[in-house]
Amino acid sequence: TVVVADTGDIEAIRKYQPQDCTTNPSLILKAAQLEGYSGLMGEARGWLKSGESVDDVIDKLTVRVGTELTKIVPGNVSTEVDARLSFDQDALLARARHLTALYEENGVGKDRILIKLAATWEGIEAARILEKEGIRCNITLLFNLEQAIAAAQAGAYLISPFVGRITDWYKKSTGTQDYAVDEDPGIQSVQEIYHHFKSHGYETIIMGASFRSAAQVEALAGCDRLTISPQLLGELAADNGKLEVKLNEKMGHETEDTITEAQF
Ligand code: E4P
């Protein structure tokens, strides 16, 4: 399992040394206000004052933070296209290409970034086109097996099936206080996708996302990748700094190995 940090916080990434990191607009905004990016929000306000559109400013901010992140993680930085465009294929394509071009201007190649697109029909069809252009996609906001299969068949590089948002929705709509891990509908959804992909030979990488608890991460230990917030990484790290999450047999693993040998 490749451990991914679900944050744009440079300090947290230095501390936990994940392979990859994932961002979204709210994580970018949080990160841009941290010390590691001092002055960036001021610069962004300047861009707005000089007449740049809000969309352009968001893109520039996203790529500025993303570029810094590529200097710290050895692997991929996931960068999200504004989810409000998720039902407009042409707009998604334009924004994905624009973000890629901005990264290239900063000296960051396509091989370091994944463009996050929501798992709508339009998002998946945009990914089909972008993948052919060498722009690798992370299909996000993915809540079921059907979306996962469609993304894999379109040739998406990676999918991010969500856990917590499914669990949250079930809790709210059924009035359930909490789910035991074995009955957690968010966990079950990712397990179903994982087993289907592995038994059908899909190459698309599965990265569990949207975790609410360490127990949810442990339940999916053994998934291809897991993107985990700094808070949960902190909860999962042992005193010796290692992430001692044992592979879970429900993910088809029977070993006593932990999800990573990396130092945390
Ligand atoms: C990661 O790629 C997602 O953006 C993130 O895990 C979403 O988590 P949330 O449901 O807490 O917003």
pLDDT at 38: 82
Closest ligand 1 atom number to CA of residue 138? 2
Cα R_g (the chain), whole angstroms? 18
Beta bridge partners of 80: 116
Task: State in Å: Cα 167 to ligand 1 middle.
Answer: 13
What is the reported pLDDT for 148?
A: 98
Distance 80 CA to ligand 1 centre (A): 11
Give the closest residue (by CA) to ligand 1 atom 1.
209
User: Minimal CA–CA distance to 56: which of 110, 106, 8, 94?
Assistant: 94
Please give the distance, rounded to the nearest whole angstrom, from the Cα atom of residue 51 to the centre of ligand 1. 31
CA–centroid distance, residue 190 to ligand 1 (Å): 14
- ipTM, 2 dp: 0.97
Between the CA of 50 and the centroid of ligand 1 the distance, in Å, is 32
pLDDT attached to residue 260 = 66
Which residue puts its alpha carbon closest to atom 9 of ligand 1? Answer: 210
Q: Are the C-beta atoms of 112 and 100 separated by less than 8 Å? A: no
What contacts 219, CB < 8 A, 6 or more positions away? 181, 184, 187, 191, 248, 250
Q: Does ligand 1 lie within 6 Å of residue 79's CB atom?
A: no
What ligand 1 atom has the least distance to the C-alpha of 80?
4
Answer whether 19's CB lies under 8 Å from 75's CB: yes
Q: Which residues contact 120 (CB under 8 A, 6 or more apart)?
A: 86, 87
Mean pLDDT by 10 residues, the chain (264 residues): 92 91 94 87 94 93 96 97 96 98 98 98 98 98 98 98 98 95 96 96 97 96 94 87 80 75 42
Helix (H) or strand (E) holding 61: helix 54-70
Walk me through the domains of the chain, giving residue ranges and CATH numbers. Answer: 2-251 (3.20.20.70)
**Ligand 1, from 138, 140, 162, 170: best to mutate by most atoms within 8 Å of Cβ?**
162
**What is the structure's pLDDT at 116?**
98
- Report d(CA 85, CA 51) in Å as an integer: 22
Q: What DSSP designation does 249 have?
A: G
Catalytic residue, chosen from 15, 116, 198, 250, is 116
Return the pLDDT at 46.
95
Residue 3 pairs with which residues in a beta bridge?
A: 226
Say how far apart CA 119 and CA 168 lie, in whole Å: 19
pLDDT value of residue 206? 97
Residue with tokens 């957690």: 184
pLDDT at 264: 35
The letter for the amino acid at 174 is T
* Ligand 1 atom closest to the CA of 168, numbered from 1: 10
* Protein residue whose Cα sits closest to atom 5 of ligand 1: 210
Predicted pLDDT of residue 205: 97
The pLDDT, as a whole number, for residue 182 is: 92
Q: Is 110 a catalytic residue?
A: no
